[in-house]
Amino acid sequence: MCSLRCALAATATTLALLVFSSCTDTLTGDEVIIAVVDATVAPNPVTPTPSENPDFQWLASFTVTLIETAGTGVTINSVLADVNETSNGIAVITDEEVVFQLSVDSESNRVEANGTTEIRIDVLYTLPGGGSESVIDISISMTDDNGAEVGGSLQAEVN
C-alpha cells in the first residue's frame, strides 16, 4: 500500500485535483502513478431558464469536463450537488430549504489515462426568495486504476 499526499486548488470555474503523481508501493517497491484530474465547468456563469417542470421554477444546465493528465485512468464513483441561493454573489442563509433535482448524463463513468470525459448536468431548482441567482456546488468522487481515491469540488455560478 502506498501513502498519498493530496492538495486541492480551485477557482469558481476550474478545479484542479492535484495528487502527487507517483509513490512507491511499500510491498513491492514499484513506483505507482496516481491520477491527476483537472475539471472545468462551462458555461460559467450559467444562465438559468424557466423550468418546464411545474415542480421547479428554474433550470441550470452546464457541462463538467474532466481531463486526466498523469497517465492513469479513473472511474467516476459519484457526482453530488448542492444549490445555495445568492444575492450579488453573496450566499443567502435562511431557514428555508432550496428545493432541487439533479440530473447527470455522461457517455461513460471512466476517464481514460490522458483522456477526457464530459458530464452534462441539469439542475432543476426553486429558491426560497423566488429568484434564480445561486451557486451550485459540485462534488466528484473517483478511484484511479491503482485504487487511489481522487476527488474534489467545484462551483457553477448561476446568474
Which segments in the chain show pLDDT lower than 50? 1-22
pLDDT (tens digit per residue) in 109-118 = 999 999 999 9
- The pLDDT assigned to 32 comes to 76
CB 157 within 8 A of CB 45: yes
- The pLDDT assigned to 158 comes to 97
What beta strand segments (E) does the chain contain? Answer: 6-10, 14-19, 22-24, 31-33, 37-42, 49-50, 58-68, 74-87, 90-91, 99-106, 110-111, 116-126, 134-144, 149-158
- The pLDDT assigned to 19 comes to 40
Q: Which pTM value belongs to this model? A: 0.82
- The pLDDT assigned to 107 comes to 92
- The pLDDT assigned to 27 comes to 56
The amino acid at residue 15 is L
Domains of the chain, first to last: 6-158 (2.60.40.1230)
- The pLDDT assigned to 31 comes to 73
Query: For 88, how many CA atoms within 13 A lie in the half-sphere containing its CB?
Result: 0
Strands 134-144 and 116-126: unpaired
pLDDT (tens digit per residue) in 1-12 = 333 333 333 333
